[in-house]
C-alpha cells in the first residue's frame, strides 16, 4: 500500500540551482554523475541515506559493463578489478552429493571474458570516490526528495525547468518512526515525525534524473505508471558467514529436499556468501501474511537444515536476511515532459536471476548522460533526449523477459531438477548449451538498439542482412598497431622493405598481470592491454585495442575502413587526408565542444574536448603502400585526428562486416559512425568524397 501524503513544510530556507539534479546515490546515479562530470556538466547528487548501505545487493558486473567502465575511465575499471574476483565454476549438488561442475565459460565477444563479482557497497564506494574526483564535489547525503514538478516558463520564452523540494533531518536520520528496514517494496511519503526538526531546500534544475530505486519517490511524484506483475516464487535472501565443508569459493546450487533450491554465491570474503533460498510458491495474500512476521535466524537455519540434509550449512553470522518477492515491472516511459528521466530500478525491476539489474541501470546512465551533456552544451537539439526512453524501454523489456526466463528455468529449479538426475557427463552439455545460447544476452554484449531517429540506415545503400556491424549494434573491439608498426632493426621507417610486426606487447607490471587473467586469445590473435593510454605518447611499438582509442566520454568516433585500397591506389591516401581534414574541421566548427580535456604534451596544456574523433584502419603494410605510409605518418600522428592503424589480422574489418580484400577502388571500404555510448549509429560504403558528405548529412539530421 502506497501512502502519498506530501509533508506540509515551512518556507524553504534555501533555493539553489544546478544544471542536473540526480536523486539517488546508488550505482546508476553515481555513474550518471561521473559521466556528466567528465563531459564538463555540473551536477548535484542527493541521497536520503547518510551512509552507504552495508548490504551486498547487486554483485555481478557483466562484460558489456566492464567495457563501458573501461571506456569511461580505465583507472575506474582497474579499481573494480583490484577489489573484485572473476566468476567461479558452479558446483551442482543433488541428494547431498556433488553431481557435477559447470565451468564458467569465457565469452568470445569481448576483451573482458568473464563476469566480475563485487558486493554493491564496495561498488558504490568506488563510484562515489570517482564522482568526487571527476566533479570536485561529494554526494549530498541526508536529503530526501519530497516533491518534484516541471514548471512551464512564460509564453514569451516558452522554456521549462524542474523544481524539486527536499528535506534533511537536522538531528538523527531521515528514517521515520515505524518504517520497515527493507530495501524492497513500496514507498511511503508521510508527514514529519513529531519532535524531529528538518531543513528544507528547493532546487531548480534543467533536468532531474530519478535513480532512487524500486520505490522511487521521483516516479511516484510524476505519477508515472509502473505496470507489470508480481511473481509467486517465494524467496529468502541471506548474506552472512557459514560454517560448512562445501567449497564456498565456488558458486553452489543445491537441489534440496522438498523441491527447494539453495543457490550460494561467494562474496569475496572468507566464508561469506549470498544465499538465494527458493522455498516454493505463495499467493499474494500468503506472502503478505508471511512478510508481516519478521524472519528470525533460527527459523531460517531450520529451513536450510530441512532443505540441504545431509549437507550441513551452519550460520555463524548474519549481515542481511529478508523475504523477497520478485516484481517484473517497467515504467511506462523513462522520461517526463522532456525534463525528468528515470534510470535504474526506478525505471525497471525484475528477478535477480542473471544479475542484470545493476548492469542495466549503469547502461541507462551511459545512454542518457552523453545526450543530456550535448543538449546542455548546445551542440544538439533537445529532441535528442527523446531517444533515451525510446531505446531504453525496449532494452528494459528485453532484460525483464530474459530474467523471467532465467527465473523459470534455473531459480525455480525446473531445468536443474529435470537434468541433475543424470550423470555429470550428460548434465554438463545440456547446461553448457543453455549458457552458450544465452551468453551474448547474459553478458549484455548482444543488446542492440534498432533503427530510429538516432540510428539510421543509408538512404540508398541496402543494409546487410547480417547482424555483423549492423546499425544499433555495440561497437566491437579488436587489436590495432600504428600504421608503420614495429620496424625491424636495420630498416628505415621510410623504406619500402620495412614491415610490421604484430606480436603482443610487453604487459609486465600490475596492470598487465591483473588484465591477463581476464584476456584470452581471440580468433588467433594474442594481444594484451598496453600501459599507454594517451594519444601523444604512443610509439610504433604500441599495440592497442580499438576501445582504448575510444576512451573519451561524449565523443562521436568515426571509423574509416580502407582495407587494401592503398595497395591498389596509393594516391587515395592524400585524397582521404583532404576529406577527413575538411570534415573534421567542419564538424568541430559547426558543433563546437565546451570545456577542456587534459592532454599530456610537451607543453602540458589543456586542449578543447573533441566532439568528433576519426580513426583510419587499413590492412596493408608499409611495404605494400610506402608512399601512403610516408604521407600519412607525416600528417596524421595524433589519435582522433585521423591517425592510421593497421587492423591486425583484418579482424575489425570482419567484425564490422567489411570486405577488406575487395577495397580496390573508391566505392569500397566504409565509414562507420560510433555514437558516444559506443553503438553503431550510421554506416556508408566507400571512403571517397560522397561517403564523407553522407556522414555529414547524418550528423545534420540528428544534431540540428
| Domain regions of the chain by residue span | 3-59+119-225+331-405, 229-328, 479-703
Cell of 535: 594519444
Instruction: Please report the pLDDT score of residue 279 as a whole number.
Output: 79
Note whether 514 and 450 are within 8 A (CB): no
According to CATH, the superfamily of the domain at 229-328 is: D-Amino Acid Oxidase, subunit A, domain 2 (3.30.9.10)
Residue 313: how many CA atoms within 13 Å on its side-chain side? 32
Distance CA 523, CA 478 (A): 10
Cell of 386: 527523446
Given its phi and psi angles, is residue 444 left (phi above 0), alpha (psi -120 to 50 degrees) or beta?
Answer: left
Cell of 213: 530505486
Q: Is 141 exposed, middle or buried (0-12, 13-18, 19+ CB in 10 A)?
A: middle
Range 461-468, long-range pairs (CB < 8 A, 24+ positions): 461/684, 461/685, 464/657, 466/657, 468/654, 468/655, 468/656, 468/657
Query: Parallel, antiparallel, or unpaired for β 612-618 and 556-563?
Result: parallel
Q: Which CATH number fits domain 3-59+119-225+331-405: 3.20.20.80, 2.60.34.30, 1.10.150.530, 3.50.50.60?
A: 3.50.50.60
Query: Parallel, antiparallel, or unpaired for β 43-47 and 97-102?
Result: unpaired
Spatial strand order of the sheet with 348-349 comes to 97-102, 90-94, 251-255, 261-266, 272-281, 228-243, 314-330, 348-349
Note whether 103 and 7 are within 8 A (CB): no
Architecture of domain 479-703: 3-Layer(aba) Sandwich (3.40)
pLDDT means over runs of 10, the chain (704 residues)? 48 84 98 96 96 89 96 96 93 89 84 93 97 96 96 74 94 58 41 70 97 96 95 89 95 88 92 90 74 84 94 95 89 97 96 86 98 95 96 94 75 45 44 51 87 93 82 95 54 32 34 38 34 38 88 95 87 87 94 56 49 93 75 77 91 91 65 97 94 97 94
Residue 119: how many CA atoms within 13 Å on its side-chain side? 19
Closest-CA residue to 450 (of 394, 371, 369) = 394
Distance CA 252, CA 532 (A): 40
Cell of 314: 551452519
Instruction: Please report the pLDDT score of residue 173 as a whole number.
Output: 63
> pTM for the whole thing?
0.86
Instruction: Please report the pLDDT score of residue 174 as a whole number.
Output: 65
Distance CA 58, CA 355 (A): 7
The answer to whether the 3-59+119-225+331-405 and 479-703 domains have the same CATH topology is: no
Distance CA 404, CA 419 (A): 20
Q: Is residue 546 classed as helix, strand or coil in its secondary structure?
A: helix
Over its C-alpha atoms, the chain yields an Rg (Å, rounded) of 27
Instruction: Please report the pLDDT score of residue 94 as a whole number.
Output: 87
Amino acid at each position: 500500500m502506497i501512502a502519498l501524503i506530501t509533508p506540509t513544510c515551512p518556507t524553504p530556507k534555501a533555493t539553489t540551482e544546478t544544471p542536473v539534479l540526480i536523486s539517488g546515490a546508488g550505482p546508476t546515479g553515481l555513474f550518471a554523475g561521473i559521466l556528466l562530470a567528465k563531459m564538463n556538466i555540473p551536477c548535484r547528487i542527493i541521497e536520503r541515506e547518510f551512509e552507504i548501505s552495508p548490504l551486498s545487493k547487486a554483485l555481478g558486473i557483466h562484460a558489456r559493463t566492464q567495457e563501458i567502465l573501461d571506456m569511461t575511465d580505465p583507472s575506474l575499471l582497474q579499481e573494480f578489478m583490484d577489489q573484485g574476483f572473476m566468476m567461479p565454476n558452479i558446483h551442482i549438488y543433488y541428494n547431498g552429493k556433488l553431481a557435477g561442475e559447470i565451468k564458467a565459460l569465457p565469452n568470445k565477444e569481448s576483451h573482458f571474458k568473464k563476469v566480475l563479482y563485487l558486493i554493491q557497497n564496495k561498488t558504490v564506494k568506488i563510484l562515489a570516490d570517482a564522482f568526487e574526483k571527476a566533479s570536485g564535489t561529494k554526494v549530498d547525503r541526508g536529503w530526501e526528495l519530497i516533491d518534484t514538478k516541471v514548471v512551464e516558463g512564460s509564453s514569451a520564452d516558452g522554456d521549462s525547468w524542474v523544481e524539486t523540494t527536499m528535506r534533511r533531518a537536522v538531528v538523527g536520520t531521515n528514517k521515520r518512526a515505524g518504517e520497515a528496514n527493507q530495501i524492497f517494496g513500496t514507498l511511503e511519503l508521510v508527514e514529519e515525525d513529531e519532535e524531529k526538526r528538518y531543513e528544507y531546500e528547493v532546487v531548480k534544475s534543467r533536468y532531474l534524473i530519478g535513480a532512487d530505486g524500486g520505490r522511487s519517490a521521483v516516479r511516484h511524484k510524476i505519477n508515472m505508471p509502473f505496470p507489470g506483475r508480481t511473481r509467486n516464487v517465494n524467496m529468502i535472501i541471506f548474506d552472512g558467514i557459514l560454517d560448512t565443508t562445501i567449497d564456498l569459493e565456488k558458486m553452489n546450487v543445491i537441489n534440496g529436499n522438498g523441491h527447494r533450491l539453495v543457490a550460494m554465491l561467494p562474496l569475496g570474503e572468507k566464508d561469506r556468501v549470498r544465499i538465494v533460498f527458493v522455498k516454493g510458491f505463495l499467493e499474494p495474500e500468503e506472502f503478505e501474511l508471511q512478510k508481516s512476521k519478521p524472519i528470525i535466524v533460527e527459523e531460517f537455519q531450520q529451513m536450510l537444515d530441512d532443505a540441504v540434509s545431509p549437507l550441513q550449512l551452519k550460520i555463524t553470522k548474519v549481515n542481511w536476511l529478508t523475504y523477497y518477492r520478485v516484481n517484473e515491472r517497467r515504467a511506462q516511459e523513462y522520461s517526463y515532459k522532456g525534463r525528468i528521466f528515470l534510470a535504474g530500478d526506478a525505471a525497471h525491476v525484475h528477478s535477480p536471476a542473471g544479475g542484470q539489474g545493476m548492469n542495466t541501470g549503469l547502461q541507462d546512465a551511459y545512454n542518457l548522460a552523453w545526450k543530456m551533456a550535448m543538449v546542455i552544451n548546445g551542440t544538439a537539439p533537445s529532441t535528442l533526449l527523446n531517444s533515451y526512453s525510446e531505446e531504453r524501454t525496449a532494452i528494459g523489456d528485453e532484460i525483464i523477459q530474459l530474467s523471467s526466463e532465467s527465473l523459470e528455468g534455473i531459480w525455480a529449479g525446473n531445468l536443474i531438477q529435470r537434468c541433475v538426475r543424470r550423470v555429470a557427463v550428460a548434465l554438463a552439455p545440456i547446461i553448457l548449451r543453455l549458457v552458450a545460447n544465452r551468453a551474448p544476452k547474459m553478458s549484455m554484449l548482444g543488446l542492440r538498439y534498432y533503427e530510429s531517429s538516432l540510428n539510421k540506415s543509408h538512404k540508398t545503400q541496402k543494409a546487410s542482412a547480417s547482424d555483423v556491424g549492423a546499425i544499433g549494434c555495440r561497437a566491437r573491439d579488436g587489436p590495432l598497431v600504428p600504421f608503420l608498426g614495429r620496424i625491424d632493426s636495420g630498416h628505415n621507417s621510410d623504406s619500402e622493405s620495412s614491415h610490421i610486426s604484430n606480436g603482443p606487447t610487453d604487459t609486465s607490471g600490475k596492470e598487465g598481470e591483473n588484465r591477463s587473467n581476464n584476456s584470452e586469445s581471440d580468433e588467433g590473435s594474442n594481444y594484451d592491454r598496453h600501459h599507454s593510454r594517451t594519444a601523444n605518447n604512443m610509439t610504433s611499438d604500441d599495440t592497442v585495442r580499438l576501445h582504448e582509442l575510444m576512451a573519451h566520454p561524449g565523443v562521436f568516433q568515426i571509423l574509416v575502413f580502407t582495407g587494401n585500397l592503398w595497395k591498389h591506389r596509393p594516391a587515395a591516401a592524400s585524397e582521404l587526408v583532404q576529406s577527413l581534414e575538411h570534415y573534421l574541421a567542419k564538424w568541430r566548427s559547426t558543433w563546437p565542444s565546451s570545456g577542456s580535456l587534459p592532454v599530456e604534451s610537451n607543453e602540458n596544456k589543456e586542449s578543447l574536448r573533441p566532439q568528433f574523433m576519426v580513426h583510419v584502419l587499413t590492412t596493408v603494410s608499409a611495404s605494400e603502400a610506402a608512399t601512403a605510409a610516408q604521407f600519412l605518418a607525416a600528417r596524421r600522428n595524433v589519435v582522433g585526428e585521423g591517425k592510421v592503424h593497421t587492423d591486425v589480422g583484418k579482424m575489425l574489418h570482419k567484425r564490422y562486416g567489411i570486405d577488406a580484400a575487395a577495397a580496390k577502388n573508391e566505392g569500397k571500404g566504409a565509414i562507420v559512425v560510433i555514437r558516444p555510448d559506443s553503438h553503431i549509429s550510421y554506416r556508408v560504403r566507400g571512403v571517397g568524397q560522397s561517403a564523407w558528405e553522407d556522414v555529414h548529412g547524418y550528423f545534420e539530421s540528428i544534431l540540428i
